[in-house]
Structure formats: C-alpha cells, structure tokens
Amino acid sequence: METYDALLASISPASGTGRTILDPATGDAVGEAPIHSLEELEQAITDAQAAQPAWAALGHAGRSASLLKAAEAVERSAEELARLLSREQGKPLNGPNARFEVGACAAWLRVAATTPLEPETVVDDGETRAELHYKPIGVVGAIGPWNWPMMITVWQIAPALRMGNAVVVKPSEYTPLGVLALVKVINEELPEGLLTAVSGGRDVGARLAEHPAIGKIMFTGSTATGKAIIKSSAGTVKRLTLELGGNDAGIVLPDADPKAIAEDLFWGAFINTGQTCAALKRLYVHEDIYDAVCEDLVAVAKAMPMGNGLDENNVLGPLQNKAQYDVVANLVEAARASGARILLGGNPDTTKPGYFYPTTLVADIDNDNPLITEEQFGPALPIIRYSSVDEAVEKANALDVGLGASVWSGNRDAAREVAARLQAGTVWINRHGAVDPRIPFGGAKQSGYGLEFGIEGLKALGVPQVING
C-alpha cells in the first residue's frame, strides 16, 4: 500500500509534460495527468495482444484467483483511492459517494471472479449433443465516463478479464487520475501488459473504437458519443456493450406513503449529486398525494449538507465540470421562466469557488419542459402531477431513452403491474438506481444495448461457440 502522495506521484508524468486536473470544489490543482499519444495507444494494444494468450490459458480458476487478489489490493489502497476520487471528481468521501465507489470496485471484482459459468448443454437426446461455450474475445477496449470513473471502469474490466481478455482502458479526460491510480493498484496482481490505461484525448478514444485489434468496445457515456462509436466500430464489426444516456422516470402511485418514501426518493434522484445515468430524473406523483410528496422531499433535501468532498460532514458535492454546471443552471432557469414553481434551490451562490449547484426541486411543471425532456444530469428534480396511471405511464414512456424507471407503492403487486408497462431496461419497486453485480443491467431504446453484471455480463465478454457432436 502506498501513501496518497506516493500513489499520485506514481501515475504523474514528468513535470510540465502533462495536463493539470483541477478540483471542482475548489479550483485547486489535484495533479497532472499524462497526455498519451496514439503511438502509446498502439504500444498498449500490442502489449495486450502479447499478454492475452497466457492469461486465457490460466482458465477460469486461475483468472478468478488473480481477480480476488486484485480486490484485496483495492481494499488495501481504499482510503487513498477515495481521497483522490473525491478531489478529482468532487464527490464527498461519505454517503453513497467516494468510499462507497471504491468499495464497489472491490465488490464487483469479487462477484466477477466468483460467478460460475459452466458450458451449457443445449441438446442431448442420445443422437445429438450440443454444448454452448464462451471463448475469449481477445483485446477489449473500455471507454469510461467522469461521473463514476472508478466503479464503471471496474464494471468493464472485471468481467473482461475474468473471461480471458486483455483490456485497454480510456478514462474520461475530466477524471483520468483516479482511473490511472485504480489500474495501477489492480495491476499489482496481474501479468504485465494485460491491463493498461491510456490517458489521451478524443483522438485516442476514436482510434480505440476503430482499431482492428480491438474485438469489443465497452462504453458508458452519452448517446451521441455512443452513436459515434457504433459508426467507427462498424468497419471491423466489433462487439459492443453501450450504456448510454438515461432520463429515468419514477411513478408514485396514490397509495404510497409520502413520508416513508421521501428519503429513498431523494437518494434515487440525488445520488452523486444527480450525476448518475440511472438516477431518477423525472418524478410523476398522483394528484392525491402530490403536495405531501413535495413537502416531504423538501424536508429531506434541506437536511443533506453540500460542500467540499473532503469534509466528512458533506454528502453532496459540486458538479464535476463547468459544462455540466451550465446545463443544469440553464435548464432550471428555463423552467422558472416557463412558470414552474421552485420549491427549493435554484439560486446558486456564484461568489464562492467550485461548481456547486444547490439541491433543487421544481413543481408544477409541464411535461414538455426541457427540464423533463432533456437529461439534466445534476441536482435538479422536476415533480410532475398526474391524474391517472395511464397518463403517468404514457408520459414516462414518451422519451426515446429507457435506462431505468421506478414505481412507488404500498401494494407490490400493483406496482409490478405498472412496472411491466414501462419501457426501461430495469424497473425498481420502491427504490431507484440500486444496481447489483449479480443482476443484469442494460438499457432500452436509445439508452444503449447489451447487458452488464452477473452471468449475462460475463457472456457478453466472450465469443459463443457451439460444440456439436
């Protein structure tokens, strides 16, 4: 285990040759990230190709043993990684934030290592025997986002490695340091060249997506970038898993208890200060309990402290970058101008440093308002009144995205009936956004395709092969 300063120094380039990464809470320098070139990407891919066959030859047992040791390595450096994550991304140490994210990295490594995947006998009738196996793809390219940079990187690399692949990681330009540090820690338990992080610009990501030696791309990010990856990968017919933008709807049925669900509603919407693809971003509440839900949500939101992530008291932090801050601010101001009612927040203090946008709740808003139809990806939740369940379902399904959704009710059977009508990859009952490494996760419509996690996630990182005879 290295100290924080030693870990940061180990991933830093020679002084003056990198790009300075700033703390979104203070504007202070966190460190310098290397600017890797296309030539360095080529070398990483060459090294991955060389390391992959021996890794594949270890079999599931050997690879799983290494991944379990990698989980232990992450835990040994957990506090140092969490501190770096908090400074670079902005999320607080406590709450469902930086320490939580690093802990999730270890958990996903362990589940990827221990999930059984045996050959499946599909026909055995005495005359024909057919078995379905999964073989390594080769080299996988993993392109990650800035909102959960460490955790989502592990979502990509853990199953890829378990299935016998080598991996080249391209972190977001906003949050490269944490991913570089995480990969360094994991590499304490892996063969050299098998896993490499290349911290470059868009040209590196574009080349990774089109490179003929890359057999699959794992991407989490915007729908627009996902579409570009689809186009650039077409020439080599790459396999793709795309987890793209979401604008998740939640429906509160009239029998729900507003006070009982208020805190879970809050964290469904405001986890990571709203910067989560599968966060609750549109809340539809029946008119009978609309005012009560609004009142209880305001009470919960007022009690959640926002500030510098290194302060142990805070559970909400800044937006990670100025561009995202502007998106949220502009959408809230457009909602205000349209006549929507701002229940809480909406007035950022621009005299203080950092991209802090206050926790904002917006009521009495039309369903075609941009704050509803566009993904805000920040701490602003619109609350829409509805009269009938049919109306709520229609509005929830109206957009061209469908990552997640939720239904809130005291009657689980009634909630499941509504859930079955929603066009989303996952529908939660009485919670929102609770992902589990054992449970498949993926989007519908333009929220992407392919599944991650569990057995299905492992299969997605292999080439299916039928042995017939």
Q: Residue 174 in contact with residue 146, Cβ under 8 Å?
A: yes
**Spatial distance between the Cα atoms of 387 and 368, rounded to a whole number of angstroms:** 17
Between helix 98-114 and helix 149-162 the angle, nearest 10°, is 10
**Contacts with 154 (C-beta within 8 Å, 6 or more apart), sequence order:** 104, 105, 108, 109, 182
Which tokens hold the place of 402? 């469908």
**With b meaning 16 or more CB within 10 Å and e meaning fewer, what string describes 206-222?**
bbbbbbeebbbbbbbbe
**Spatial distance between the Cα atoms of 18 and 105, rounded to a whole number of angstroms:** 27
**Spatial distance between the Cα atoms of 30 and 18, rounded to a whole number of angstroms:** 12
**Spatial distance between the Cα atoms of 158 and 271, rounded to a whole number of angstroms:** 24
- Residues with catalytic roles: 243, 277
**Spatial distance between the Cα atoms of 75 and 79, rounded to a whole number of angstroms:** 8
**Contacts with 152 (C-beta within 8 Å, 6 or more apart), sequence order:** 144, 145, 220
Q: Is the dihedral of CA 452, 458, 461, 466 positive or negative?
A: negative
**Spatial distance between the Cα atoms of 76 and 252, rounded to a whole number of angstroms:** 42
Which tokens hold the place of 265? 């509603």
For residue 85, the number of C-alpha atoms closer than 13 Å in the C-beta half-sphere is 28
Q: Residue 145 in contact with residue 220, Cβ under 8 Å?
A: yes
Give the distance, in angstroms, between the CA of residue 414 and the centroid of all CA atoms in the same chain: 30
